[in-house]
Structure 1
């Protein structure tokens, strides 16, 4: 008489492990591809509520004082609070994903077309055009001032504010970056533009 064995077939375990590994790989690839193919070049607000509310909240919410006045997306210009000895209280913040450029604390005078062209060398992804346009707007709005610009950071989150100090070498622009562990697939270049009154 034959009796059946109750020991598990080792090949079944290997097949199951291979199937689970393959399934995990598909889920990972699917998740990454959905991040990469968002259907456009616009950014989404990670802090936006997942469901829109139709009635405003009666409870006031406290907002941090060191946040940009507008949320940024590629090519958008936002205003940002500035402090420091230079007396500048507000700056424009222009950004672009993989916009290039090298961060520097030294602001460059952008008072001629050649100065703007020199400043945007090495920038890409539409950032040179956005910077040029914003500088032209600054010059038009403040004819008695000189436009300045600085690449303040490259990373995943914009600075919350900047400190602009006047020194012997010109204006020093230091960003207040958020303390975060956010990681992104592509760094964003953040450029600060401001107009300083002519002496």
Structure 2
């Protein structure tokens, strides 16, 4: 297979991942209701791109994920109606920066693990799990860092929770823990399986040196 064919195939697969992200963001396909939970599936394409093509592509897909989340907020979904009036700029940062880091770090982690993974399975599952975990940790971390006094404390007090900062953090993170774990497991299974199959049938000739 010549370089032109490899490059064209890669661009096609990246375009498919971009299209999937956009479709998932604005249709029910991006969310899986399980009981009282509503799991987001958008980290899955980010994980696949990061594992197949490295940190730079992961960061790019993560950035797109963040932009789509910002657009959803502007359309009145999730925390958008609450956080946008407080600070549109900070809301944009919370939506986009954590997702860029999510994709970038997934690519770095996968590259490191895949070199030492003799099973050629664990690196896919672990990286997929971490993609969703990074999404939760970085987004919630950014939310608490940038909107602590203007939203987080008031939200906790509205739920009857007062006390130290650690008490409030434990309350907020505890409320999303189950959903975060289920999302991470789902992302590990789906993105890990898909990435392993795609890497087998569409191998890169040589991983790019991306940072």
TM-score if structure 1 supplies the norm length? 0.33
Structure (1 or 2) with the larger CA radius of gyration: 1
Answer 1 or 2: which has greater strand percent: 1
TM-score if structure 2 supplies the norm length? 0.32
